[in-house]
A = this chain, B = another copy of it.
Amino acid sequence: MEIKEQIALRAAAIEEIIGKYLPKETGYQKTVIEAMNYSVKAGGKRLRPMLMQETYRMFGGKSEVIEPFMAAIEMIHTYSLVHDDLPAMDNDEYRRGRKTTHVVYGEAIGILAGDGLLNLAFETAVGALEIEPENRNVVRALQVLSSKAGIYGMIGGQTVDIETDGTKEVTREQLDFIYRLKTGALIEASMLIGAILAGATRNEQNQISEIANCVGLAFQIQDDILDVTSTGEVLGKPVGSDEKNGKATYVTYEGLEKSAKDVERLSLEAIKKLEALVVKNEFLAELLSYLIHREK
Contacts and interface: CB of A to CB of B under 8 A. Distances in A.
A129 interface: yes
A122 interface: yes
Given A143-B123, A146-B126, A155 B116 contact: yes
**Among the interface residues A89, A106, A120, A159, which one has the most CB atoms of the partner chain B within 10 A?**
A159
A119 B150 contact: yes
Nearest to A127: B143
Interface in A46-84: 79, 83
A268 interface: no
Interface in A79-137: 79, 83, 86-89, 106-112, 114-116, 118-120, 122-123, 126-127, 129-130, 133, 136
A111 B111 contact: yes
A159 B119 contact: no
Residues of A in contact with B, size category: 35 or more
Contacts of A79: 115
A78 B142 CA distance: 22
Given A29-B155, A119-B151, A127-B143, 12 more contacts: A23-B151, A27-B156, A29-B152, A29-B157, A89-B108, A114-B115, A119-B155, A120-B151, A122-B122, A123-B150, A126-B139, A129-B139
